[in-house]
Structure 1
Amino acid sequence: MPVLPRGIRNNNPGNLNFAHQAGAVLEPGPNARFARFPTAEAGLEALRDQLTRYIARDKLSTVNAIIAKWAPPNENNTSAYAQFVARKIGVEASADLGPVTPPLIGKMMMAIIEYENGQTPYGDLVAQVAAEVPQTPQKTPIKTA
């Protein structure tokens, strides 16, 4: 029987490093560094939330910038990763992605899951989780008299 990829085994399809995320524990084993989530949905929510933070909080507006932070070049072939994600979501890696939206986050999640694990076994669950993208507060324009 084939061994499942590490991200799938850990319910962490984005292979997020363990950072004391809610409900997560450090994966077991001698090379432990990634989070292990109690359910696939919890891992998908963590993936969604991290992407949302990178775009909304950190103002990373391109696939190149997001993937450079997600998968730094000292550990990954960041350029190949960014090109893969950009191709999967249908943009240039250097293009401005615009605001955080559920369709954007869902496409990025699917691409990252596939790159990290070689498969995307979650079906509609990714779109369901992406649909619950936390809303970022919009600045209210100041009205002048």
Structure 2
Amino acid sequence: MSRIETRGVRNRNPGNLDYRAANRWQGQLPHNPAVEARFCRFDTAENGIRALGKTLLTYQRKHGLKTVKAIVNRWAPGVENDTDAYVRAVELGTGFAPGVDVDLTEFEVLKAFVRAIIRHENAGYAYPDAVLSEGVRRALL
């Protein structure tokens, strides 16, 4: 049985980051509304994963968000997501208990977060470990 390719996987943007003209992500393809009106597209999955990781790191560094709930509430606001279900999925996917502070600058912590978000955003999709690890490595540079 073949799996339907999700928009995030097809765009190599597994976090489904919205396109913003001000953002100049590494490996971001030119915006083409005829191909994809709302979301960024990337040249490789690793660069899409990098952008996801960089965004999460910004949430922590700039906005002081330290728990799964705080981070996911900003990542996936309730106006278009079931944020409570998303928080539970990320807590389950990362193994972090509710309310525990996390340090996204730690490779394995960021990797677990990114993996859980990708699975939630892309109907259970999981990248090979080498692809995921390289994207996270690039995010931490």
With normalisation by structure 2, the TM-score equals 0.84
Unaligned runs of 5+ in 2: none
- Distance in 2 between the 1:29 and 1:72 partners? 26
Instruction: Give how far 1:91 is off.
Output: 1.1
Alignment: residue pair count = 135
Whether the aligned pair in 2 keeps the contact of 1:68 and 1:78 (CA below 8 Å) is yes
The one of the two structures with greater contact order (alpha-carbon pairs below 8 A, sep at least 6) is: 2
> What is aligned with 2:44?
39
Offset at residue 31 of structure 1 (A) = 7.1
Structure 2 counterpart of 1:58, one-letter code = H
| Alignment pair present for 1:87 and 2:92 | yes
* Structure 1 residue 51 displacement after superposition: 1.0
Cα distance, 1:2 vs structure 2: 5.0
1:17–1:34 Cα contact (<8 Å) kept: yes
CA distance in 1, matches of 2:61, 2:24: 19
Structure 1 vs Structure 2 CA RMSD: 2.1
Q: Give the C-alpha shift of residue 78 in structure 1.
A: 0.5
> How far did residue 17 of structure 1 move?
0.7
Letter in 2 for 1:69: R
User: Hey, what's the Cα distance between the residues in 2 that align with 1:67 and 1:26?
Assistant: 26
Counterpart in the other structure of 2:11: 10
Query: 118, 122, 128: which is aligned to 1:122?
Result: 128
1:21 Cα deviation after fit: 3.1
Residue 99 of structure 1: how far off its partner (Å):
5.5
CA contact (8 A) 1:63 1:97 kept: yes
Distance of 1:3 and 1:36 partners within structure 2: 18
The C-alpha deviation readout for 1:110-140, integer Å capped at 9, x for no partner, is 00000000211333221233234436xxxxx
**TM-score with structure 1 length normalisation?**
0.82
Distance 1:74 1:16, change over 3 A: same
Secondary structure of 1:131's aligned partner: helix
Q: 1:38 to 1:78 in 2, by over 3 A?
A: same
Q: Following the alignment from structure 1 to structure 2, what is the Cα–Cα distance between the partners of residues 116 and 64?
A: 16
Higher fraction of helix = 2
Unmatched segments (≥5 aa) in structure 1: 136-145
Amino acid paired to 1:21? R
Q: Deviations over 1:67-91 (max 9, x none)?
A: 1100000010001001100111111
Q: Give the 4+ runs in structure 1 shifted more than 6 A.
A: none
